[in-house]
Chain A
């Protein structure tokens, strides 16, 4: 799944290995600011339930319809809001009939292309009750500025002392400890992990793929917006916030035995991760051999240099171990391996524990 629906463009271009061609996306920055302002309350809007007749919820209407336009553009709506329908048919003498017909027979095309199935479980009385109620609803005038969102008060930025990170609506901000969030991430397989580091550890974030068992990319400027994964039925992409500063090459870099080049696909099995001083150490198997992999990222402020250090532990290894670099020129630094035929060959006495750093100049 390389489809990338997020504003933040992280699709991989071959020429981008290790380069810094990623641009900070202004649109994203604006959207983020807006979301912070408009975030509706997701739990327990006081009093909201009293205004909603029980049938709207109990008969499943709420599965596809909101009452009013939610403040956040990305909230999931299948059908029109009840207020839209009410306003639309307010002065239509056939309004009641039309709504009743849609309930009974289903409808399509009146409000976009999504199909509403016939609501066969509704009794005639309930359908009439609902239709009459819908006709009493009206769209609210759009507020002239100010953060008003579908009648809900904005969710306050709340920092619960029981958790280190701050959640501002769906935006997650790293606090004084690293955080590891599994989510659908753009440019990753469906099993992906976002890691956010606190300022004292570099303050940047990276994505790790739990299928390909490798670093995907690094970004700086913010952590993630969980977006629709938290505000709807769930299950859509989280958005990395900020600017991408490194895109890893698209291959798994470790080789065991004589390296056969990029065409060789080692067998990879993801085994999870262990939190070591708050940071994840990724655990996986390469051709049946256990590997523990830590990633340290450092970025100097104001667009200074970036260094990414991979630390691998392969306890009890006797086979040759090598690291395949990117095709493009990237500055590698290691004291544990030497160049041999275009790969970094790990010294035999360092196989159990070795580090390889990448330094990116701005």
Chain B
């Protein structure tokens, strides 16, 4: 009997840790040219369905109908690529933002046109020029990674980042006239950038010094996202000396909290660029939400944001973790793009930490089978709790009880140290739960909600009308702002 209990217990733990292979999404391997190292660092589709793919080794490839062609070569470690509003091909490479122009129409770029190099750089292993998206007005957007501390031979000496010259650790805008505009500051190394349906910009920073866990930031002009090194180039701090020596509580008040924390270890380690689901439902019931992959974990995350008191906050969920129908999802996920057939193309830059001898790089893709998954669609903050929206109605035959919702709260410490454990982790009792008449939502009453906390959900025994359980039972809601009372 004891053995059986242990057996069941380990099964339950396993089920909680991984998503099951399922009938809703399928992962496929995508062939890339053989014999070349295809570390995908930028990816986008043109309006006529051509995949453009940049690699860390400096190539830009095109692929259509299975035919690969090298479009450009010799770029200096490009870390972003986007197709512009008029079909232009833009890349962000270490020294500059560049437009690649095929003047004679033979499928190979002839003109490598410098759009902007209005930022400083020195040889440093960590000075990535991340990108790249374009807005309707023609501005290009990206972020500049912090420098890494190095030994005299260029080898990394520690994981701390610093802003050795302007505008390392800032996000940037490059106008259509080529003007470089530093936009927001305090990003340690936000690998890539994305834009939601509203046109707002997001970038995911990587856990490290001053970054307790990986996190998704909403980038607005003048924002300070938390890493004080970047303040060296903020005119407001010109006379304040070394910004990393400023009182932490002052920096803490100054920083804009991330829209969503991507919990370190459980979901994320080194997130890549966020991608908005622009398929209008063709990729499943998550239109308008964001997907983010991870370089270290074989994980795709899903983020559903809401605005509270004018600020973005919301929930992140595991979407696919390792196991999947078809091929297992692999790590190294750096860039995402929706293909013309609405499948999600996954660009892998190399597992672990770039190409440190660990596998691997290349392409995979996720295909929606059309079978709607039963999931928490989004979480909406209430004055005294949360309203969980589901992708399908809940089982009307089952009366919900608060015990089915395990809730805990914690925060990540804001310190110069590398990362943070979960601080002040405590259970949050759910005192009441109510299902809506249509079965689409469950409203939880949770007394004592606090700002600047992460609320971790685990749902037990929740089923849809057919009696099927949730595809994924966990969620993490980042609460920065409480709903103001009436």
Contact = CB atoms under 8 A, between A and B. Distances in A.
B109, B122, B152 — which one has the most chain A CB atoms within 10 A of its CB? B122
Nearest to A276: B110
B263 to A, nearest CB: 10
B123 A190 contact: yes
6 contacts: A49-B358, A66-B357, A179-B73, A182-B95, A230-B37, A232-B355
A62 B74 contact: no
Given A1-B123, A44-B360, A180-B112, 19 more contacts: A42-B357, A44-B359, A45-B357, A45-B359, A60-B353, A64-B159, A76-B125, A78-B157, A117-B159, A118-B417, A159-B35, A182-B94, A184-B123, A210-B95, A226-B57, A230-B57, A233-B126, A272-B112, A274-B111
A60 B269 contact: yes
Contacts of B57: 167, 226, 230
A333 interface: no
B148, B213, B265 — which one has the most chain A CB atoms within 10 A of its CB? B265
Given A62-B352, A228-B125, A150 B93 contact: no
**Interface of B: prevailing SS:** loop
A58 B265 contact: yes
A234 B125 contact: yes
A43 B122 contact: no
B37 A236 contact: no
B419 interface: yes
Contacts of A48: 357-359
Interface string B67-85: 0111001111100000000
Contacts of B126: 233, 235
Nearest to B34: A160
B42 to A, nearest CB: 14
A228 B361 CA distance: 18
B93 A231 contact: no
Interface of A: 1, 3, 5, 40, 42-45, 48-49, 52, 57-60, 62-64, 66, 70, 75-78, 113-115, 117-121, 150, 152, 156, 158-160, 162-163, 165, 167, 179-184, 190-191, 193, 210, 226, 228-237, 270-275, 283
Contacts of A120: 417-421
Interface in B310-355: 331, 350-355
Contacts of B158: 78, 114-115, 117
Given A58-B296, A233-B156, A275-B110, A190 B37 contact: no
Contacts of B36: 158, 160, 162-163, 167
A187 to B, nearest CB: 12
A5 B37 CA distance: 26
Nearest to B331: A57
B35 A183 contact: no
A330 to B, nearest CB: 29
A120 B158 CA distance: 16
Contacts of A180: 73-74, 112
**Which 9 A-B pairs give the minimum distances between C-beta atoms?**
A182-B76, A158-B35, A235-B125, A236-B154, A117-B418, A191-B95, A44-B360, A181-B74, A62-B352
B217 to A, nearest CB: 20
B296 A57 contact: yes
Contacts of B417: 117-118, 120
**Interface of A: prevailing SS:** loop
A114 B153 CA distance: 14
A78 B155 contact: yes
Interface of B: 33-39, 56-59, 68-70, 73-77, 93-96, 98, 103, 109-114, 117, 121-128, 148, 151-159, 207, 213, 264-265, 269-270, 296-297, 331, 350-362, 417-421
Contacts of B355: 42-43, 230-232
A57, A59, A115, A165 — which one has the most chain B CB atoms within 10 A of its CB? A57
A163 B94 CA distance: 22
Contacts of A275: 109-112
B154 A228 contact: yes
Given A76-B356, A232-B354, A121 B117 contact: no
A113 B159 CA distance: 13
A66 B151 CA distance: 18
B354 A234 contact: yes
A57 B123 contact: no
Contacts of B353: 60, 62-63, 233
A229 B77 contact: yes
A272 B114 contact: yes
A160 B61 CA distance: 13
A45, A78, A283 — which one has the most chain B CB atoms within 10 A of its CB? A78
Contacts of A184: 76, 123
A235 B77 contact: yes
Contacts of B360: 43-44
Contact of A160 (B35, B96, B351): B35
Contacts of B95: 182, 190-191, 210
A64 B352 CA distance: 10
A5, A59, A272, A275 — which one has the most chain B CB atoms within 10 A of its CB? A272
Contacts of A57: 296, 331, 351-352, 358
A226 B74 CA distance: 11
A182 B253 CA distance: 42
Given A167-B36, A233-B148, A272-B112, A78 B156 contact: yes
Nearest to B360: A44
A191 B156 contact: no
A231 B125 CA distance: 11
A1 B120 CA distance: 12
B96 A191 contact: yes
A272 B98 contact: yes
Given A40-B357, A180-B74, A235 B94 contact: yes
A43 B352 contact: no
A235 B123 contact: yes
Nearest to B38: A43
A234 B128 contact: yes
A40 B356 CA distance: 11
Contacts of A66: 356-357
Contacts of B153: 5
